[in-house]
Amino acid sequence: MAVSGLIRRSFAGLVVGVSVLLSACDPVAFVGNQSMRFIERNLVPPLLKDDDAIMACQSGVALAPLIVATENIGANIDQLATLLYTTAGLCAEITSFDHEMRYLRAAKAGMIEEAQDARTAQKRFAETAARRQLKSYERFERYYEKRYDIKIGDQCTDFYKDFDELVYMLGLLSGLQALLNDIIAGQVVGVPMDVAAKAERAFTCLDNEKWWGVPLGVRAVVWNVLPGADEGKDVWGAFNAAMALGEKSGIRVAHAMYALSAAGKADDERLRDGIKRYANVPAEFKPNPDYKLVDALAGFIVTSLSDRLWTEGTGQRTPPGMLGKFWDETPDQSELAVDIDDLL
């Protein structure tokens, strides 16, 4: 037994030694890379299982600088940085959206200076969101083009593990979000305009059924956005197919894409339909336990779109319990009454 244990320890030492040598004879870089892999395996999954989107965004803001700093010791942090900048961008988006709500209320009340100030603040935080999301996209692009020897949007590959596919998908989504927020900010960041076309092609590399209908849903968004891209395509039929998969899989990102696309087309009927479909899923629907955060992020998008409609129509955000319902469609107006306790 002693000899056997000695052999095992010697073999383990040999493996570590070879690994260090393969890390350019730099034990510090080896430790840094092993730490990143430890985080990917042990800390990221619990984050994805938590449906607290605010905590996720704040974690991204807090951890991104620390993780990025490990590059100084040779650690490869591009995948983790993609995730962290994605969630950090959400925090800036939330603040930007809050200022947009302030703008809508001020404009409705005829408060010109307040409305102007709110619009300026909205653009500033949209710029911050775009910068963070662009960093996420650039990290994703650098990692995959080097790791898999492909050009994003031009070539596909066989991924090594599900985590690689997940980061690939989130990196593409961050690129699209960066483009959208940069437009809101007045294109001061300079997010490349070809990101949308590259993402549309790149999403064909992912299995649509495996990833909850998201690849098809995002491609349908791009078809709606790019001039001529919808030619010969059943855009709204694609959204319906993607949403059906999302409901089956417990992830409603396709619902958010549908609602976003309808909002971009100023299609109020489909926008309301998207919000209702998100809120009124079949009774058997259960969020995917391994990716609750992803479904929660979709919920943030849908709720924001609902809040925008409600604020334009009534001056207030979507009241509690009213997601999927609208002020002008509700027969019982008592549901919209303000509880006096809320004012105390």
Q: Are 53 and 297 in contact (CB under 8 A)?
A: yes
pLDDT, tens digit, for every residue of 150-166? 999 999 999 989 999 99
Spell out the residues 6+ positions from residue 277 whose beta carbon is closer than 8 angstroms to its own: 243, 255, 258
- What's the whole-number average pLDDT of the chain? 88
pLDDT at 17 over 50: no
pLDDT for residue 67: 87
pTM: predicted TM-score of the whole model, two decimal places: 0.86
Considering the chain, what percentage of its residues have pLDDT values greater than 70?
Answer: 84
Q: ∠ CA(168), CA(172), CA(178), 5° rounding?
A: 140
Residues 291, 51 contacting (CB under 8 angstroms) = no
Classify 51 as helix, strand or coil. Answer: coil
CA dist 266 → 138, 241, 262 (Å): 31, 22, 6
For 25-32, what is the mean pLDDT?
Answer: 58
Structure tokens at 337: 């009454």
Q: Give the model confidence (pLDDT) of 228-278 as tens digits.
A: 999 999 999 999 999 999 999 999 999 999 999 999 999 999 999 999 999
Which candidate, 194, 191, 167, 165, places its Cα nearest to that of 180?
Answer: 191
The pLDDT assigned to 271 comes to: 97
pLDDT score, position 73:
77
Q: Write the DSSP symbol of residue 205.
A: G
Six token digits for residue 158: 């066989």
Q: Label residue 203 by pLDDT band (50, 70, 90).
A: very high
Each residue of 35-75: pLDDT tens digit?
Answer: 666 667 777 888 899 999 999 999 999 989 988 888 887 77
47 neighbors 53 (Cβ within 8 angstroms): no
- Identify which has the larger pLDDT, 8 or 82: 82
Single-letter residue type at 73? I
pLDDT at residue 19 is higher than 90: no
What pLDDT, on a 0 to 100 scale, did the predictor assign at position 23? 47
What does the pLDDT look like over 285-297, one tens digit per residue? 999 999 999 999 9
**What is the pLDDT at residue 339?**
53
Burial of 205 (0-12, 13-18, 19+ CB in 10 A): buried
Whether the CB-CB separation of 305 and 257 falls below 8 Å is answered with no
pLDDT of 25 over the 50 cut: no
